[in-house]
Amino acid sequence: MSRFKDLQKNLFGGTTSNARQFGMIFTLVAIVLLFQFLTDGLTLRSDNLIALFQQNSYILILAIGMLMVIVAGHIDLSVGSIAAFAGILVAKSMTEWDLPWPLAILFGLAIGAAIGAWQGFWVAYIGVPAFIVTLAGMLIFRGGNQFIGNANTIPVPEGFRVIGSGFLPEVGPNTGYNNLTLLLGLAACLAVVWRELQARRTRHEMDADAGPLWVSILRMAVMVGVLAFVALRFASGRVGTSFPVSGIILVALVILYSFYTRNTAGGRHIYAVGGNSRAAELSGVKLRRVNFFVMMNMSVLASLAGMIFVARSAASGPQDGNGWELDAIAAVFIGGAAVAGGIGTISGSIVGGLVMAVLNNGLQLQGVGTDRVQIIKGLVLLLAVALDVYNKSQGRFSVIGSIMRPFRREASATPATSATGTEPAKTTVSG
């Protein structure tokens, strides 16, 4: 067991969140293989993989924003409604006001920013809990969508549909594969190798043990293998299909936001606020700005997701985005974020979202009805988080513990203070 732990530590860097991600990736692979077996190879077929990506890219984009919202200690229930609201306005802007589609996309992002500023204002500057602000937003913007569209469906022009249903074009010699997809896969493989070497160099510069070389090589080999396999699958689909444009947008956002949350001061501040907002404030973090930003950012991503969905379904309708908030939140929590904030990663949330997506897809391929799919998804969410809670209660952090932090802190602080420093007696004891 300890050998396994060592391996896991070596392969995934050894911190708690990484260990959790290891578990999630493992789960994802297991689910994929399970359905591959149950569906007689349907799951990993090119067309299914492509469809899976297209159908879920917008949820995964939402999960990115939701992760940041949840890490900061909030929640956003309005993303589905905002997506629908932005979608209908963008559709209308193109069909009725003849806005060219690239401008319409910018227009859509601006709508998201405006809505985000509105919600961020209430959360950050007035101090209304995000749950309430976004519950209100959920109603307001759902109603707004139906008010503006008269509860009708509005079609969108061909050019716009690219972001939802477009693919990398066919260029270059006929290799039997989509060349750009192959190139993309190659670039990804190189990036993986480069990052691994970079990480080793960083460890060396820190005078820290970088771990045995064979571990790095093994890790690189596995990653490159998986990427190559996926790239070939995407490249070898039906002619005219390849890696979807929405997938490219998603990958770009994942890279961008992973970098932001991990490697910039702004990202650190989000974790600091979610981990202990008072301590963050006393360390010079501008609490309001951080809260405003995460709420606003979420709405921008929600409007982007809405546009991608509209582009994919070729029209904006009154029921767009129904229930998305719950899928996004579920992805984030399955991906290891803590309910009380301060813990979670973008990559974890993406993996969490993929677990749900594969589950959904696999069950549908098997002909399981949506009723039972929902039941199973609900149970998976519950079990994933319950397992997490259980693990953390045994070890370092407990999700429930973090929720109860205000109470626990008082309780644990009392013995410490009365033991050594001052007048405690702050705990309320009567009743």
Partner 1 sequence: MSDAPILLEMRSITKEFPGVKALSDVNLVVRAGEIHAICGENGAGKSTLMKVLSGVYPHGTYDGDIVYQGAATRFSDIRASEHAGIVIIHQELALIPELSITENIFLGNEPRKRGAIDWKSAQRQARELLARVGLRENPDTLIKDIGVGKQQLVEIAKAFAKDVKLLILDEPTAALNEADSRHLLDLLRGFRERGITSIMISHKLNEIEAIADQITILRDGKTVETLNIKDDGVDEDRIVRGMVGRELSSRFPDHTPKIGEVFFEVRDWNVRHPISADRQVCKNESYVVRRGEIVGFAGLMGAGRTELAMSVFGRSYGVWESGTIIKDGKEIVLKSVADAIAHGLAYVSEDRKAIGLNLLDDIKTSTVSAKLSKITKRGVLDEVAEYKAAEAYRKELRTKAPNVDEGVSKLSGGNQQKVVLAKWMFTDPDLLILDEPTRGIDVGAKYEIYGIIQRLADQGKGVIVISSELPELIGLCDRIYTVFEGQITGDIARQDADPETLMKQMTSTKKMQTR
Q: Which residues would be at the binding site for partner 1 (CB under 8 A)?
A: 14-16, 202, 205-206, 208, 263-265, 268-269, 271-272, 275-276, 278-286, 342-343, 396-397, 409, 412-413, 415-431
Of 247 and 341, nearer to partner 1 (C-beta) is: 341
Of 86 and 340, nearer to partner 1 (C-beta) is: 340
Measured in degrees and rounded to the nearest 5, phi and psi for residue 167 equal -130, 165
- Least separation in angstroms between residue 309's CB and partner 1 is 32
- Least separation in angstroms between residue 345's CB and partner 1 is 13
Of 17 and 119, nearer to partner 1 (C-beta) is: 17
**429 contact partners, CB below 8 Å, separation of at least 6:** none
**75 contact partners, CB below 8 Å, separation of at least 6:** 69, 130, 131, 134, 329
- Least separation in angstroms between residue 69's CB and partner 1 is 17
- Least separation in angstroms between residue 129's CB and partner 1 is 19
421: which 2 tokens?
């420093």
Q: Which amino acid is at 387?
A: L
The CA–CA distances, whole Å, from 79 to 86, 130, 133, 141, 292 equal 10, 12, 12, 9, 16
For residue 290, give the nearest of 64, 124, 174 by alpha carbon. Answer: 124
- Least separation in angstroms between residue 62's CB and partner 1 is 24
Measured in degrees and rounded to the nearest 5, phi and psi for residue 208 equal -105, 160
* Distance in angstroms (rounded) separating the CA atoms of residues 102 and 372: 40
- Least separation in angstroms between residue 425's CB and partner 1 is 4
* Distance in angstroms (rounded) separating the CA atoms of residues 310 and 86: 10
For residue 134, give the nearest of 295, 317, 338, 304 by alpha carbon. Answer: 295
Of 166 and 342, nearer to partner 1 (C-beta) is: 342
278 and 53 Cβ atoms separated by less than 8 Å? no
- Least separation in angstroms between residue 111's CB and partner 1 is 28
Of 106 and 279, nearer to partner 1 (C-beta) is: 279
Of 16 and 179, nearer to partner 1 (C-beta) is: 16
Of 113 and 287, nearer to partner 1 (C-beta) is: 287
Q: What is the dihedral of CA 270, 274, 277, 281, to 10 degrees?
A: -10
